Amino acid sequence: MTAKDIWLEWTQPPSMAGPWLGSRWELKSNMLQIHNLSATVGGKPILKGLSLTVNAGEIHAIMGPNGAGKSTLSYVLGGRPGYEVTGGSVTLDGQDLLALEPHERAAAGLFLGFQYPVEIPGVSFVQFLRESLNSQRKARGEAPLSGGEFLKLARAQAALLRFDMEMLKRPVNMGFSGGEKKRAEMVQMGILDPTFAVLDETDSGLDIDALRVVGDGINAIMRRPNKGVLLITHYQRLLDYVRPDFVHILSDGRIVKTGGPELALQLEAEGYEAVAA
């Protein structure tokens, strides 16, 4: 429990809680709360009692050595088959995330950026994005966007990421370079406009210009008082553009150290073993 949570409890007696105060208090509330999470992959324990709280308006970076369980954490949050939760809990805006199907998690506002984005032959990116958005809107009881409305939105988001609209007419990720896939993923995030994003090594394979564009995109789309981000990264470079509120070191399935942005600099200089010891 953080000082902020305690402050919230003190200042929000149950009798005061009500829809008329909702938006005001939501600004300070926990968005993602992971408590003592354990998970196995192929019967092998990977997450071993991981706890982490992200408040609305915060960006948290997760760093850690290869094989620590960073990608496993993002898959477990997304509900990927084969990743079995063996203990603990996860709530998003107070909702039991682990009880939801993957598509329900997305409709609830969760977005996952993948370390290795998939290619889908035969389906154009525009088509894929429109279907994704409209199925989420449907699950939330919102009307679907028409083709015209959708294209307007897609154009605006592509422009933000300086992504060529023509490329969005090609099959999903087919023939895209590593950097283009990551930028396309940010365009997707802009279109879906999630409340919480888990971005797994969004910076891998990016040159320095693309890194800046992606960093600016994350800030523009997700740096909001009612949103939150878990940014999984190996290098502190991306954190020059997207300044995290907290940096955590994940090692052997647990958070072993938490600090501010300076922790990322210290890691870069000294390495995981020295800092996490």
The site partner of 22 among Mg ion, ligand ADP, none (C-beta below 5 to 8 Å per kind) is none
55 binds Mg ion (CB under 5 A): no
71 binds Mg ion (CB under 5 A): yes
Tokens 């020059």, residue located: 240
Measured from the CB atom, the residue of 45 and 144 that comes closer to ligand ADP is 45
- Choice from 1, 66, 121, 262 touching ligand ADP (CB under 6 A): 66
Single residue of 32, 50, 52, 64 touching ligand ADP by CB under 6 A: 64
74 counts as binding Mg ion under rule CB under 5 A: no
Binding to ligand ADP by residue 188, rule CB under 6 A? no
184: which residues sit within 8 A by CB, 6+ positions away?
117, 125, 163, 167, 168, 173, 176
Distance CA 79, CA 209 (A): 33
Query: Cβ 93 to ligand ADP, closest distance in Å?
Result: 25
Angstrom distance (rounded) from CA 99 to CA 102:
10
Instruction: Pick one of Mg ion, ligand ADP, none as the site partner of residue 112 (Cβ within 5 to 8 A by kind).
Output: none
The residue whose Cβ lies closest to Mg ion is 71
Asked if 175 is part of the footprint of ligand ADP (rule: CB under 6 A), the reply reads no
To which residue do tokens 């320095």 refer?
A: 208
In the region spanning residues 37 to 56, those forming contacts with ligand ADP, defined by CB under 6 A, are 41-42, 44, 46
Cα–Cα distance list, 244 to 74, 85, 90, 268 (Å): 18, 28, 21, 15
Element (H, E) at 270: helix 261-270
Q: Which residue has the tokens 């509900």?
A: 79
CA 39 to chain centre: 19
Report the residue number, 31 or 250, with the smaller CB distance to ligand ADP. Answer: 250
State in angstroms the smallest separation of the CB of 67 from Mg ion.
8
Would you count residue 38 as binding Mg ion (CB under 5 A)? no
Residue 188 lies near Mg ion (rule: CB under 5 A): no
**Could you give the CA distance from residue 270 to residue 259 in angstroms, rounded to a whole number?**
15
Q: What is the C-alpha R_g of the chain?
A: 19
E strands of 118-205, at which residues?
Answer: 120-124, 171-172, 196-200
Which residues are at the interface with ligand ADP (CB under 6 A)?
Answer: 41-42, 44, 46, 64, 66-72
Which residues are at the interface with Mg ion (CB under 5 A)?
Answer: 70-71, 115
